[in-house]
Structure formats: structure tokens, C-alpha cells
Amino acid sequence: MSPWQIEQPGRTNPAQQEKKFMFQRIAAAALILGVLAACQPRQPEVVATTSTVTTEPVFQGKYGAN
């Protein structure tokens, strides 16, 4: 069907059917992935503990600080 022809009701374009079919497949795949992601067990939360860092004593020479 050329772009200048008017589409008649009841008559579908094979290219449009293919696009609709691909959209349905993509939508179904997204739905399945969403359901599978929701059903996964939760991972344990990792809590980082910060320890206090102290500086080491610095050698200041034989008689202390200059």
C-alpha cells in the first residue's frame, strides 16, 4: 500500500501487524523480567562501620621538636 492511498477499514497493513506483534513481545518480556526481579530473595544489607583512625607518633629527633 502506497502512502497516498487511504487505509480502508477492516484491512490491515502487514508492517503494522509486525510492529504491533513486536511491541507485544517487548511488553511481555518486560513484564516477565519485572515479575522475576520482584520474586528474587533480598540481599543482606552491607553496613560499613567506620573505625576511628589515629595517627602514629612521629619521631622528632633526639631532643624533641626543633
At residue 24, the pLDDT reads 93
**47, burial (CB in 10 Å: exposed 0-12, middle 13-18, buried 19+):** exposed
Flag whether pLDDT at 1 surpasses 60.
no
- CA–CA distances in Å: residue 1 to residues 18, 30, 59: 15, 32, 90
Nearest to 1 by CA among 24, 47, 11, 40: 11
Flag whether pLDDT at 54 surpasses 60.
yes
At residue 12, the pLDDT reads 65
Q: How far apart are CA 29 and CA 38, in angstroms?
A: 14
At residue 3, the pLDDT reads 58
pLDDT tens digits, one per residue of 2-48: 556 665 666 667 778 888 889 999 999 999 999 999 998 888 888 88
At residue 5, the pLDDT reads 62
Q: Which residue has 487505509 as its cell numbers?
A: 7
